[in-house]
Amino acid sequence: MDYVGRLTAHLPMAIRLIMVKADGSVSVHADGGAYKPLNWMTPPCTVRESVGEWRVEHGKTGDALVITIEEILADRSYELGLDPGLQKDGVEAHLQALLAERVEVLGAGWSLVRREYPTAIGPVDLLVRDDAGGSVAVEIKRRGEIDGVEQLTRYLELLNRDPRIAPVRGIFAAQQIKPQARVLAVDRGIECVRLDYDQLRGLDDPTTRLF
Partner DNA sequence: GTATTTATTTCGTGC
Partner DNA sequence: GCACGAAGTAAATAC
Binding site for DNA (CB under 7 A): 3, 5-7, 9, 33-42, 58, 63, 65, 86, 88, 91-93, 116, 118, 121-123, 125, 141-143, 145-148, 151, 178-180
Closer by beta carbon to a copy of itself, 69 or else 112: 69
- For residue 83, which of 23, 20, 34 has the smallest C-alpha distance? 23
Binding test (CB under 8 A) with a copy of itself, winner from 64, 97, 146, 203: 146
Q: Decide if residue 38 touches a copy of itself (CB under 8 A).
A: yes
Q: Decide if residue 83 touches a copy of itself (CB under 8 A).
A: yes
Residue 11's binding partner out of DNA, a copy of itself, none, with CB under 5 to 8 Å set by partner kind = a copy of itself
Alpha-carbon span 15 to 73, nearest angstrom: 9
**How crowded is residue 134: how many other Cβ atoms within 10 Å of its Cβ?**
14
Amino acid, single-letter form, for residue 85:
G
Amino acid, single-letter form, for residue 157:
E
Q: Distance of alpha carbon 157 from its chain centroid, rounded?
A: 25
Please report, in angstroms and rounded to a whole number, the separation of the first and last CA atoms in the chain: 45
Binding test (CB under 8 A) with a copy of itself, winner from 30, 66, 69, 193: 30
Q: Which region, judged by CB under 8 A, interacts with a copy of itself, from 47-55, 57-65, 120-128, 164-172? A: 120-128
Alpha-carbon span 174 to 140, nearest angstrom: 6
Q: Distance of alpha carbon 49 from its chain centroid, rounded?
A: 36
Q: Decide if residue 22 touches a copy of itself (CB under 8 A).
A: yes
Closer by beta carbon to a copy of itself, 133 or else 206: 206
Alpha-carbon span 173 to 141, nearest angstrom: 6
Distance of closest approach, residue 134 Cβ to a copy of itself, in angstroms: 27
